[in-house]
Amino acid sequence: MPEDLASRRELKAVQEAMAARFGPAVIETAFKLGELTFKIAKDELRPALEFLKSRLGLDTLDDIIGLDNSRSVPAGGKRFSVLYQLRRAPGPLRLRLAVDLAEDETVASAVPVFTSADWGEREIYDMLGIRFDGHPGLRRIYLSEDFAGHPLRKDFPLAGDDDGV
């Protein structure tokens, strides 16, 4: 897909604004396949979401994605990631904000910034067991409350777990 110069310039402006506001809290900036990703320190997640939404106009949360990196991360690295897919609607400008989490770490809920994050966070909790601080009602969304384990974790067997049901 051809990238037009304007969106390149806009992405660059966003990148500079993020670097100026958060400095070293922006751990990594990647630009691949025409998609911009910021890895941000866990504690700066909510300020970053607020900044991107209110200052830089990325007012739409397209999706929240939970990842279990246990097969790809080197030993000692953090197991989980949560990605926030943001868009400056209705235009084409998009970027991803990423936080890495160790197995026992929690992350601030995005619901106070984006109401639409509610069910998405519940889904991630259900599927991966990642907890979101300050979520208005964090409980499983697909599986029953007495289900043991989180199916999208890489160590959960594909054929299911007898203890699960």
Partner 1 sequence: MAFKEIELNMGPQHPSTHGVLRLKLAVDNEVVLRIEPVLGYLHRGMEKLWENLSYVQGVPLTDRLDYLASLSNNLAFVLTVEKLAGLEVPKRAHYIRVILAELQRLASHLAWVGFMANDIGAVSVLLYGFEARETIMDIFEEYAGGRLTVHGIRVGGVVEDLDDKVIGMIRGALVEIPKRVRDIQLLLSENRIWKQRTAGIGVISAAQALEYGLTGPALRATGVRRDLRRDIPYSSYEDFDFDIPLGTRGDIYDRYQVRIEEIFQSLRIIDQAVDNLPPGEIRARVPRVLKIPPAEAFQTIEAPKGELGFFMKSNGTDKPERVKMKAPSFINLQSLELMCKGNLFSDVVGILGSLDIVLGEVDK
Residues near partner 1 (CB under 8 A): 1, 32-33, 35, 37, 59-63, 65-68, 71-72, 83, 85, 89-92, 94, 96, 114-116, 118-120, 127, 141-144, 151-152, 156, 158
Q: How far is the CB of 160 from partner 1 (least distance, A)?
A: 9
Q: How far is the CB of 20 from partner 1 (least distance, A)?
A: 25
Q: How far is the CB of 121 from partner 1 (least distance, A)?
A: 12
Q: Which is nearer to partner 1, 91 or 134 (CB)?
A: 91
Structural contact between residues 106 and 78, judged by C-beta atoms closer than 8 angstroms: no
Rounded Cα gap, residues 61 and 83, in angstroms: 11
Q: Which is nearer to partner 1, 5 or 20 (CB)?
A: 5
Instruction: Classify the C-alpha dihedral 98-103-107-110 as positive or negative.
Output: positive
3 state SS of 39? strand
Rounded Cα gap, residues 96 and 163, in angstroms: 36
